[in-house]
Chain A
Amino acid sequence: MAETSRDTILQSLRAARLESVELPELDPSWSQFADPRARFAQVLESVGGRCLSAADLQDVNRQLAQRTEFQQAKWIGSTVAGVDRVNFDVMGVGDPHELEQLDFFVAMGQFAIAENGAVWVSDAQVPHRALWFIVQHLVLIVPADQIVHNLHQAYQRLRFDHAEFGLLIAGPSKTADIEQSLVIGAHGPRSLTVILL
């Protein structure tokens, strides 16, 4: 049988021996913040997102009702029970292309990262991963006690032992591809609001 490309590549790599060094230890105490919550809010705002705090779900609804994009939204979906005005059943959608008309989507974020303003979310929370990107306005509710200092601590929490899509979201979709002018709302959500609960 003919040699496969896999064999050829691995053989040519094995033929050249490089001097190895140990894999460095990583320090989870790099970049700590006195007030991680304040730092998270500040970084998120600096990348075009919005950070709010809410006492309970009622408070979330009250604050959402004040947002223009929520008031103007025709189709609102949520995977968080108890959000007002939800009129689009995202769980009942079979083909993700149908999500194109969704204006507003509320979901839980697992945890937030103070250092870079990112929130971790995954497929486990939604019926279709397209939801994170296709909706016009995205709201993530994150438990306020779930804020880590930095990415090193984030990866200490995460386990990748089964097939699942997960991602860090830091702000709304954006581009600066025309003359370095920052434009919010490239392909994905035009706004990102994180509510610390």
Chain B
Amino acid sequence: MSATSCNHAKEADRFTADRPRVQWHDQALWFVRAKRDAAAHAVEEWEQLRETASQIKRHTLARLPEYLEQFEENALRLGAQVHWARDADEHNRIVLRILQQHGVHKLVKSKSMLTEECHLNPFLEQHGIEVVDTDLGERIVQLRDQPPSHIVLPAIHIKKEEVGQLFHQCLGTESGATDPKYLTEAARGHLREKFLEAQAGLSGVNFAVAETGGVIVCTNEGNADLGTSLPRLHIACVGIEKIVPRAADLAVFLRLLARSATGQPITTYTSHFHGPIPGGELHIVLVDNGRSRIRADRQFWESLKCIRCGACLNTCPVYRRSGGYSYQHTIPGPIGSVLGPLQDAKKNYSLPYACSLCGSCTDVCPVKVPLHHQLLTWRGEIVRRGLLPWRKWLEMKVVSWVLRNRRRYQWSGKLAGWAVRWTPRWMLYNRLNDWGKSRELPEFPRKSFRELYRNRNGRNQ
């Protein structure tokens, strides 16, 4: 666990300093949100699908141990090998062992937030394995030595000019090139070579089906698929919450997933891996890493329903204007702000406050995670656990003391009106007043509502 804590507001300052970029980022995500809306509204039974998906998840999480065993049994029957990892460290060691046993030193990888969570790449690199992220967005951030800033759109914070410069340095494209088509073509050529050289492919998993023992991977680029169909070795890393009971349940989730993520009716490729490639091996690593603890938490277990579509990030007014890195957590945005403190409450105490409680995340969530309710619940928890910084704690105490008593409330109104009128500006707007950083205090009326009301009633009588 990290000893230092992250302050979302401070981290966001770095991003918000560049105002045109904030606006650009905000609009790029809003564009995705609008596409999601159009796709969702075109499905008549959308709300029924959400409710059904939520119930399937609830049912599955309740019977998770049984379904995991059923999944394992079926996966083994199909010829896959199943590994269990308690935590990130064990997961990384299992993957390394499999790779070393097969003499692999070149690995291609497709998107997996789980391996980001486990910091698999640096671990494998330390052990001399070349790891190439093959999703275009992930490759861009990997070449910049950055983590993804979004769970579905990893390079959403990077401009095409920056990609052009990066590719000029790393892939030898023409200097000053910014055309996405040209840059994508260059990446295609570069990654084709990596695909052809790779001795193993590693993928994340969107769904694991208990009834059949299969794992399902969704991509638009076809990178997970190409990366696991050339080499003879495929390692699939799965969080234990990714289980669904029946193959038929996939219909519900697949109809929701791509529409919620990018507004597409379905991703270009939905690969169903049942057993290994002929003559090869499929290793499935089931990872807990805190999930069993979250499941046992009466307040926050519903966060395990998440299918990582990213809709809550795209709609969140705070995420859109503060960027993924301000969260300093593998998964940013509303869902990350619930999961972050579950992983490390001390480090991530500020994330539940990176929220205006507008509730939009809850409205768009395809599996009905009550996100803003969970964020509010977390705020209470943060206070109860004494994790709030003293200044914020003190402010809350004072406000609560004032609001609890009628007379104190009335007098504070008068006092505030007087103070704002007569206090010199430098005393009001300084670094102690976070609220006044980008806002002006309102002009205080001379009479309070209560006084106006009393006067008016007096006249009427």
Contacts and interface: CB of A to CB of B under 8 A. Distances in A.
Interface in A88-143: 96-97, 100, 115-118, 123, 128-130, 132-134
Given A166-B272, A180-B28, A173 B222 contact: yes
A8 B240 CA distance: 13
B205 to A, nearest CB: 14
Contact of B220 (A4, A21, A173): A173
A183 B251 contact: no
A170 B248 contact: no
Nearest to B217: A167
Contacts, number: 245
Interface residues of A, number: 73
Given A10-B69, A183-B180, A160 B274 contact: yes
A188 B226 contact: yes
Given A177-B155, A187-B191, A187-B226, A26 B248 contact: yes
A43 B292 contact: no
Nearest to B77: A163
Interface in A26-54: 26-27, 30-31, 43, 47
Contacts of A56: none
B79 to A, nearest CB: 5
A47 B160 CA distance: 23
Contacts of A27: 45, 48
A-side interface mostly: loop
Nearest to B181: A183
A145 interface: no
A100 B266 contact: no
A174 B296 contact: no
A150 interface: yes
Interface in A147-197: 150-152, 154-156, 158, 160-181, 183, 185-189
B183 interface: yes
B86 A18 contact: no
Contact of B265 (A4, A97, A117, A177): A117
A101 to B, nearest CB: 11
B180 A18 contact: no
Given A21-B55, A161-B212, 4 more contacts: A6-B84, A13-B240, A47-B268, A151-B251
5 contacts: A12-B288, A22-B55, A174-B221, A177-B155, A183-B180
